Amino acid sequence: METSITINRTVLTVVRGDITRIPADVIVNAANTSLLGGGGVDGAIHRAGGPEILDACRRIRAKQGGCPVGEAVITTAGLLPAKYVVHTVGPVWNGGDDDEAEKLRDCYRSSLTLAIEHGAATIAFPNISTGIYSFPKLLAAEIALDAVAEYLCELADDAPAPKRIIFVCYDAENEQIYRETLGNCS
């Protein structure tokens, strides 16, 4: 089942599933500052995409020494059906007084900027920070949708815009939250 709304020139959709199987131009990874892989969606992307992705991450580390929270880098998608992986680093939830909300917004904004610069028409996001990093799921969904909607609304009329942004929910709770939150936007 799909829930979708259109903002400016882009359709926003919620699906339940494994992001490694989504044939988007860009899939976004919830990475860590080391860029060397980990558990959760990061582990799944590196396992399914093969060593080419880690090699590319190592080259980025050699140049810039990892990726700060809220920023993003882009690599090949290796064996995945996607063309590129954008690796962004979400904040660890620390009670809310550590600018976590702003840092999470930055993840969506910096990922969109890189993806659009690489000509992406379809972009798939996981629910960044809502797993191992323990960000409250409802708040994370509200921030994700608001940050993406604001970004799309600010695009100039003649600037390239993605056709479709897919919020890929792996767990049932996030799926329900995203469907309700997106539904409330329409």
Asked if 91 and 69 touch (Cβ cutoff 8 Å), the reply is yes
CA distance linking residue 53 with residue 74, whole number of Å: 10
Is residue 171 within the footprint of ligand AR6 (CB under 6 A)?
Answer: yes
Which tokens in the block code for residue 92?
Answer: 């660890």
Window contacting ligand AR6 (CB under 6 A); options: 70-78, 115-123, 125-133, 145-153: 125-133
Which tokens in the block code for residue 17?
Answer: 């599933």
Residue that is written with structure tokens 């929910």 in the block: 169
Is residue 31 within the footprint of ligand AR6 (CB under 6 A)?
Answer: yes
Instruction: Reduce the DSSP state of residue 61 to 3 states and report it.
Output: helix
By CB under 6 A, name the one of 7, 14, 19, 114 that touches ligand AR6: 19
Number of residues lying near ligand AR6 (CB under 6 A)? 25
Asked if 59 and 24 touch (Cβ cutoff 8 Å), the reply is no
Window contacting ligand AR6 (CB under 6 A); options: 52-60, 77-85, 158-166, 170-178: 170-178
Catalytic, out of 18, 25, 42, 97: 42
Helix 172-185 / helix 137-154 crossing angle, nearest 10 deg: 40
Handedness of CA 131, 132, 138, 142 (dihedral sign): negative
CA distance linking residue 93 with residue 101, whole number of Å: 9
1 or 156: CB nearest ligand AR6: 1
Is position 98 annotated as part of the catalytic site? no
CB of 155 to ligand AR6, least distance (A): 26
Per-residue x/- mask for ligand AR6, residues 74 to 113, rule CB under 6 A?
----------------x-----------------------
Binding site for ligand AR6 (CB under 6 A): 18-20, 30-32, 38-42, 44, 90, 126-133, 168, 170-171, 174
Catalytic residue set:
42
